[in-house]
Amino acid sequence: MSARRWAAGLGGATVLALTAGCGMLGIGGGGDDDKSDEERLVEMLNESARLESEIAAAENRIVQNCLEEAGHTVHEPGYFENYEPEEVKSLTYSYPHESFILPAEEAAEFGFGGWTNSEEGMEDPATEEYYEAQEAKWEEEEGGGEEYVEPDYTEWEALTPEEQYAWYVAYQGEEYVEQNYGTEAEYASMYSEEEMVEELTEEEAAALEEEAAAEEEGEIDVEAPEAYEEPKPGGCQLEMIEALYGEPRQVESTYEMDGETYTDKYWEYRPENPTYGGEEDGEDMWANIEAEYAAEMGDKQAEYIDCITGRGYEGWEFNEYNTLPTWEFFYELYYQNVSDDERDMWMDTDSETVVPPMPEDAGDSYEEWKAYEIQMAVDFAECGDEVGFADPSEKAYDKANIDVYLEIEQDVYAWQDDMRDAIAKAQELLDK
C-alpha cells in the first residue's frame, strides 16, 4: 500500500461486538441514493476497518482460550495488543504534490527538512525546531491521535525463559519458534545471568577486520541472500485458523535483487481486504490510481517541470508515484563527500531512483547546501502557484481514487460478508 494511502486498522477491538448481518449503504446492500460515490465508499472503508478489528479480536480471544486450556495463563502482551481503527473522512490521505510543493512560509523557514537527516543537521539546534513545527502541524491537521501506551510486561517477564519458550511453541508451533527464536537452550541463554558475549582476542578481532576488508575489495564473494520460507503455522494459532478459515494457504512473493530473482513463501489464512490494493491478476489498484492521475495531470506536470527548469533546477522528472525524488536528491547532496561505508549507513544505495546531477552552485559545505535546499523549496512552491498546480492535482487525485475504489466495491462488500460469517463462527466457538 502506498505511503499516501489510508490503511485499515489491523488490531482487534478490546471487546468483541458482533454486528448484525446487514449490508452497507449503497451497492453492497440497502441503498441511499442521496449519498455521493465518495461518501458511500468512505463508509465502506470504515465498515471494513471495524469488521477487521472485530475479527482480529476474535482470533486473539480464541488463541488465548486455547493457550489457557493448555495451562499458559500469562501471555506475551505484544501478541495480543488491541487497536481501535480510526475513522477516515476521505478516500485520499494526502496528495502527490504535497511532497514537493510546500506552504510558502514553511518552505522559507525549513526548506524540505532534508538537512535534518544529514550528519551536520543532526547536530544543528534548528533540527529540534523543525520537528516541533512538524508535530504541531500534524496535530493541527490530524488531531494528533492518541499517545501509544506500552503494554505491561511485568507478568510476562516474571516467567522463566523456559516458560516463555513453551508459550511460544504452544502458540505457533515448534518449527516456527525455532526459526525465529532458536532452540530452547539458545533462547534461555539470551537471558542467562552469565556473560552472553565473550570478548574477542586481538588475533580474532584482527582476523575479522581482514575478512571485512577483503569483502570490500571484492576478494571474498558475499553470499547472495537466501529465499525465505515461512514455517507453516502450528499450535493454537493453527487451531484457530482451521476453526475459522480452514487450512492456511502458502503464497509466493517474487522479487529481484542484483539481477537475481528470489521467491519467498508465506502462509495466509484470513481473506485479504481488497482495499489493501495487492496485485491480483496483473492489476494493482494503487498503480491504477497513479496512472489515471498521471494521465489527467500530464500537461500540468510538464508546465511545472518547465517552470523549475527555468529557475535553474535541471534534470527533474516525475516518478511512478507522481512525485519528485526530493529526498533521494538531498541524501545525495548532503552525503556526496562521505566514504562509501558512511553512504551505505545513511543511504539506500541499492535504490534505482534516478536523481538530477548535483548542481555546481549548491556549494560544498553543510551551510551552503542547507541554504540551497531552502531556496529550492521556495522556488518549487512559487512554481506551484505560478502554474496553478495544487487545485487540479487535488481534483484529479480524488477522482482517480473514486474511480478505482468503485471498481473493487463489489469485491469489498463480498469480503465484508465473509468477515461477518467468520465473526459469527468465532462467537459460536467463544460461547461454548
Grid cell digits, residue 169: 511453541
Q: Which residue has the higher pLDDT, 44 or 224?
A: 44
Each residue's pLDDT tens digit, 246-305: 999 999 988 877 778 889 999 999 999 998 876 554 468 899 999 999 999 999 999 999
- Kindly tell me if the per-residue pLDDT of 394 is higher than 70: yes
Radius of gyration from C-alpha coordinates of the chain: 26
User: Model confidence at 22, in pLDDT bands (50, 70, 90)?
Assistant: very low
Report the Cα–Cα distance between both ends of the chain, in Å, rounded: 38
Each residue's pLDDT tens digit, 78-115: 999 888 888 999 999 899 999 999 999 999 999 999 99
- Asked if 428 and 60 count as a contact pair (C-beta separation under 8 A), the reply is no
Residue 399: closest CA among 95, 24, 98: 95
CA angle 282, 392, 401 (to 5 degrees): 30
- Kindly tell me if the per-residue pLDDT of 20 is higher than 50: no
Q: What is the pLDDT of residue 281?
A: 45
Each residue's pLDDT tens digit, 413-426: 999 999 999 999 99
Q: What is the pLDDT of residue 257?
A: 75
- Kindly tell me if the per-residue pLDDT of 25 is higher than 50: no
Each residue's pLDDT tens digit, 356-366: 999 989 999 99
Distance of CA 63 to CAs 72, 80, 190, 296, 419, Å?
11, 10, 27, 49, 18
Amino acid at 115: W
DSSP assignment string, 110-121: HTTSGGGGSTTG
Residue 4: closest CA among 382, 290, 251, 370: 290
Q: What is the pLDDT of residue 143?
A: 66
Residue 45: closest CA among 350, 423, 401, 315: 401
Amino acid at 227: A
Strands 249-257 and 260-268: antiparallel
Cα(383)–Cα(377) distance, integer angstroms: 10
Q: What is the pLDDT of residue 192?
A: 61
Least confident window among 12-26, 145-159, 333-347: 12-26
The pTM of the full predicted model, rounded to 2 decimals, is 0.79
Cα(180)–Cα(191) distance, integer angstroms: 16
